[in-house]
Amino acid sequence: MMVHHSMASLVGGYTKLSFNERTKKYHGQCPFCHSAAEVFCVDNKNGSFWCYSCGKHGTMEDFRVQMGLECPEPELEPEDADTMEIYEAAAAYYYQCLTGRMDMRAYSYITKERGLDEKTMADFGIGYAPYGRRNQSLYRHLSQRFDDLAIFRSGLVKRGKYGAYDMFRNRIMFPILNRDGRVVAFGGRCLDDKGPKYLNSAESRIFNKHTLLYGFQTAAEASKTEDTLLVCEGYMDLIALQAHGVSNSAAVLGTALTKEHASLIRCFYKRVRLALDSDKPGLQAMARSIPVLENAGLEVDTTSFSPAKDPDEFFQRYGKKALKARAAEGTDPSVTAVRASSEPEAELVRQLVKHLNVCGQEGRAEKAG
């Protein structure tokens, strides 16, 4: 894990901080009570923090403990550092296999069919997992540096009836990074009909899809100038967005956002714009995500890349300028809820009643004022 040498660098991984020249301290929103005001203060000189709203305070160690209660992080064992080192060695190998054109079909798929240039491949570490050589290409590569116990523990190589074999074979590989920028998992896109279209690393102490968002390390940096996070679905959708100027974007690694995702997002953004696939499963996932985000105190709207299915397909059809323009458009989330409902009439009534109740409360408040 990344070593933090100051209070501000530690806290900055959970909430945006700004330095005040007058007080010589850092200020931001509290990652514990989520107050809308900048009531959280960090003193680098004394290595301390405190919140004027909820009263939480302490040292760097206190912050780690209390943040663990709010945004649980898996407790790492000593061998987890070895596993992450193996994942990073594998990521470098997969990248070399793709850019070195070990398989021209894979290279052609990425560059011609998906339209990615070598800069984008490098920025996202996109690679290729080869097959052949008894399905031991990665295993033989890793064996030059790591012992078998660590390699098998990583999950990237399995034990079979006829010996070791690579988990990922003949797949385009997408490294998944944690907030510290370390590789903790992979997603692999199949290039043939053998196996599922997408295959992900198994969950572990270092990888939990319910707490991680693909591309969030870039989105966290973008939050310094943006207040809205665009959430999409899928590796290529996220790459299409970030590679073409929509850096305030991230992708779910499942079908819907969780309360852990919402807690993470709330530390950096005020609003979420949902842009999952425009098919029925995507609409239903957005409908499930809306209350989760709203319960965390986030403002929510949605956008659709229709008539395309998703951001990547939209970019392929209409280009960069149109992609950025569509990403900036938000619509009332109740429209998505109605479209996703299996009983749209009943859902429409529910949304109208909710809207009328809110309007009625506002009207009574104005009269009382």
Model confidence, pTM:
0.74
- Asked if the model's pLDDT at residue 49 lies above 50, the reply is yes
- Mean of pLDDT values over 279-287: 83
- Asked if the model's pLDDT at residue 343 lies above 50, the reply is no
- For residue 175, list its beta bridge partners: 186
Higher pLDDT, 284 or 215: 215
Q: Which residue has the tokens 């007080």?
A: 23
- Asked if the model's pLDDT at residue 315 lies above 60, the reply is yes
Q: Where are the beta strands (DSSP E) in 9-83?
A: 17-20, 25-28, 40-43, 48-51, 57-59
Rounded Cα gap, residues 303 and 287, in angstroms:
12
Rounded Cα gap, residues 3 and 85, in angstroms:
16
Rounded Cα gap, residues 45 and 64, in angstroms:
18
Tokens of 249: 């974007």
- Asked if the model's pLDDT at residue 174 lies above 90, the reply is yes
CA dihedral 145, 146, 147, 149 (to 10 degrees): -170
Residue 230 · residue 213 · CB < 8 Å: no
Q: Mind listing the domains of the chain with CATH numbers?
A: 7-70 (3.90.580.10), 78-200 (3.90.980.10), 216-344 (3.40.1360.10)
Q: Name the pLDDT band for 368 (thresholds 50, 70, 90).
A: low
Indicate the DSSP class of residue 187: E
Predicted local distance difference test score (pLDDT) of residue 205: 86
CA dihedral 331, 311, 214, 137 (to 10 degrees): 170
Instruction: List strands edge to edge, sheet with 48-51.
Output: 17-20, 25-28, 40-43, 48-51, 57-59
Quick: pLDDT tens for 98-117.
999 999 999 999 999 999 99
Rounded Cα gap, residues 332 and 286, in angstroms:
12
Tokens of 134: 């008894």
Count of Cβ atoms closer than 10 Å to residue 46 Cβ = 10
Q: How many DSSP H helices and E strands does the chain contain?
A: 15, 15
* Cα dihedral across residues 105, 108, 114, 119: positive or negative: positive
Q: Name the pLDDT band for 79 (thresholds 50, 70, 90).
A: confident
pLDDT exceeding 90 applies to what percent of the chain?
Answer: 53
Quick: pLDDT tens for 218-239.
998 898 889 999 999 989 999 9
pLDDT exceeding 70 applies to what percent of the chain?
Answer: 85
Closest among 234, 240, 235 to 324, alpha carbons compared: 240
Count of Cβ atoms closer than 10 Å to residue 123 Cβ = 14
* Cα dihedral across residues 117, 118, 121, 127: positive or negative: positive
**Which CA distances in Å does 240 have to 40, 234, 264?**
35, 10, 23
User: What size, in residues, is the chain?
Assistant: 369
**Which CA distances in Å does 247 have to 61, 96, 238, 242?**
32, 26, 9, 4
Residue 201 · residue 175 · CB < 8 Å: no
Quick: pLDDT tens for 244-277.
999 999 999 976 899 889 988 887 888 999 998 8
Rounded Cα gap, residues 253 and 272, in angstroms:
16
- Asked if the model's pLDDT at residue 50 lies above 50, the reply is yes
- Asked if the model's pLDDT at residue 54 lies above 50, the reply is yes
| CA 14 remoteness from chain centre | 14
